[in-house]
Amino acid sequence: KHGLFQAASGGTIFLDEVGDLPLEMQAKLLRVLQEKEVRPVGSNDRVKVDVRVVAATNRELEEAYRAGTFRKDLYFRLNVVTVHLPALRERRSDIPTLVHFFLDRYSPDQTLEVTKAAMQCLMQYEWPGNVRELENCIERAVALGNHTVIDVSDLPPSIRSAPPSPVAP
């Protein structure tokens, strides 16, 4: 069976949470990126791979390599083009669009409305889990709701009871 790098050869591979890789795995990843080849498990042969790597992390990798928890050489190998995406709480205007995107994903055959009060709760919440937490919240609301309207009562208790966050000017 082909590994992920072999399967992605000729295309793009997405490495999520690359900042959480143990140092041993970082060394292996660095080797693949430098040598452009892998050695499949159980094989003595090396296989050439041609992949574009897109990596994501929620950690500050520059700080991590300075602290010794992320390889400096891997940091510079990955840090070709950096896209900084602010936390969801810093871009609240994206919340309604994301809510409707997730509603379409989890209820594709129905048009669900979100009450003004529910949307206000969603807009005021701090979202420590970012977009993944919002997606989970909407999936829950669709599963537990009445399949017509998403209201405050359909939201998780932590979101319903969250104090209003300060609104940026």
**DSSP annotation of 72:** H
Spatial neighbors of 130 by CB under 8 A, at least 6 apart, are 58, 87, 88
Q: 160: which 2 tokens?
A: 């319903």
Residue 115 in this model has a pLDDT that exceeds 90: yes
At residue 164, the pLDDT reads: 63
Burial class (CB in 10 A: 0-12, 13-18, 19+), 48: exposed
> CA–CA separation, 83 vs 64, rounded Å?
18
- Which residues are CB-neighbours of 113 under 8 A, at least 6 positions away? 148, 149, 150
As a whole number of angstroms, the distance between CA 22 and CA 7 comes to: 23
Type of residue at 115: T
* Cα–Cα distance, 77 to 73 (Å, whole number): 6
What is the reported pLDDT for 166? 58
pTM > 0.85: yes or no? no
What does the pLDDT look like over 26-70, one tens digit per residue?
999 999 999 999 988 888 899 999 999 999 998 999 999 999 999
| Token pair 């928890």: residue | 69
What backbone torsions phi and psi does residue 64 show, to the nearest 5 degrees?
A: -65, -40
